[in-house]
Amino acid sequence: MGDIVVLVKPALNPDMLRSKPDGTVDIVGIPLKFDDIDANAIEAAKELKKNLGGKIIAVLLLPWGPTAKRSKDLRMVTQEALARGADEAIVIADDTLLPGDQVITANVIAETIKKHVPNASLILVAEASIDQTTGQIGGRIAAKLGYPYISYARSIKAEGDKIVVERDVEDRIEIMEARLPAVVSVTQEINEPRPPTLLQIRRAGKKPQHKLSASDLGITVERKKEPLEYRILTVSRKQIIIEGDTLEEIAEKLIEALEKEGVLSI
């Protein structure tokens, strides 16, 4: 079989929110990080590689600019993908593709796969990212490549040129069977990613990285949407820490406070 492609997103870190004085999000001030569920996708790829063979190719597209300011974060995310188990990385960072959106991302990644990993057996993507959380990239790429798509995988087993997937839907699990090549989105439940070891981190530096631009891929960008405003959602909570000499005292004070709020019906 061919190689396994894993999409890795350098995502805005919602735990490091930055705002401007007018309450809008300071996008450029928020650092990028290796996206959470991409770790599950790489871990799944490592497991499947035992059966499917081939290499694990991480494909990274920088979605937030400017490229000059993001190069360090992008390098860290690429390193992490390689340390976690990707054998090679393809990195696309290009100011003409910024800011990224899902139409651009899907076109760039589908073109990258067609031109640079045409033999891909399986394309793995996270169920959703931590910044946009729209969960649509897998489906878009599957449609562009004309491959079967299975979303929300809780397990993937490879048998010959077939995969069997447990797909999570709200009230049931569907066991699905597809022929390869296919695109699969993975959930957080699919496995428990192991943090990379020191040795893996050191080795990551020696693994091949390929850099691509929009013109290398022959991509011309047509935007279907434009951002108007990104506004911080302010939750104004009281943030009162209840203190006391004993747990009894704290419990009493808490009950009193909740009664005052009128939220206890005891």
Partner 1 sequence: MVSSLVVGGTLGEILESLTAASLVGEPIVLAYGQAAAKAEEIASRGVKVFRLNGEHPDLIFKAAKKLFEELKPKVIIGHSTKNNRDALSRLAGLYDLAMATDVVKIEPGDDHIIYERGFLSERAIAREKASYPAIVLINQKVFEPYSAQGQGEIVDIDVGTPDVQIVEIKKKQLSGINLEEAEIIVGVGRGFKKKEDLKLAFELAELLGAQVGASRPIAADYKWLPEDAWIGISGKRVAPKLYIAIGISGAPQHMAGVNNSKIIVAINKDKSAPIFKQADYGVVADLYQFVPVLIKKLKERKEK
Ligand X SMILES: Cc1cc2nc3c(=O)[nH]c(=O)nc-3n(C[C@H](O)[C@H](O)[C@H](O)COP(=O)(O)OP(=O)(O)OC[C@H]3O[C@@H](n4cnc5c(N)ncnc54)[C@H](O)[C@@H]3O)c2cc1C
Which residues in 118-137 contact ligand X (CB under 6 A)?
128, 130, 133
Asked whether position 263 contacts partner 1 by CB under 8 A, the answer is yes
Structure tokens belonging to residue 102 = 């899902």
Q: Which is nearer to partner 1, 78 or 107 (CB)?
A: 107
Q: How long, in residues, is the chain? A: 266
Q: Which does 98 bind (CB under 5 to 8 A by kind): ligand X, partner 1, none?
A: none
Q: Which is nearer to ligand X, 71 or 133 (CB)?
A: 133
Structure tokens belonging to residue 227 = 């951002």
Question: Binding residue for ligand X (CB under 6 A) from 37, 59, 60, 110?
Answer: 37
Instruction: Tell me the CA distances in angstroms from 166 to 172, 173, 181, 246, one per residue in order.
Output: 10, 6, 17, 49
Asked whether position 12 contacts partner 1 by CB under 8 A, the answer is yes
Asked whether position 98 contacts partner 1 by CB under 8 A, the answer is no
Asked whether position 176 contacts partner 1 by CB under 8 A, the answer is yes
Backbone angles phi, psi at 204, to 5 degrees: -55, -35
- The dihedral sign for the CA sequence 3, 219, 179, 122: positive
Residues 6+ apart with CB under 8 A from 131: 9, 11, 12, 14, 35
Asked whether position 106 contacts partner 1 by CB under 8 A, the answer is yes
Buried b (16+ CB within 10 A) or exposed e, 52-86: bebebbbbbbbbbbeeeebeebbeebbbbbbbbbb
Asked whether position 261 contacts partner 1 by CB under 8 A, the answer is yes
Question: Binding residue for partner 1 (CB under 8 A) from 55, 67, 102, 207?
Answer: 102
Q: Which is nearer to partner 1, 198 or 235 (CB)?
A: 235
Long-range contacts of 233-241 (CB under 8 A, 24+ apart): 234/23
Q: Which is nearer to partner 1, 87 or 168 (CB)?
A: 168
Name which of 99, 94, 41, 93 is nearest 230 in CA terms.
Answer: 99
CA distance 47 to 191: 10
Asked whether position 226 contacts partner 1 by CB under 8 A, the answer is yes
Interface positions, 54-83, toward partner 1 (CB under 8 A) = none
Question: Binding residue for partner 1 (CB under 8 A) from 175, 199, 206, 245?
Answer: 175
Question: Binding residue for ligand X (CB under 6 A) from 188, 207, 250, 254?
Answer: 188
Q: Which is nearer to partner 1, 79 or 151 (CB)?
A: 151
Q: Which is nearer to partner 1, 95 or 252 (CB)?
A: 252
Stretch that binds partner 1, among 47-55, 81-89, 207-215, 228-236 (CB under 8 A): 228-236
**Contacting positions for ligand X (CB under 6 A):** 36-37, 128, 130, 133, 188
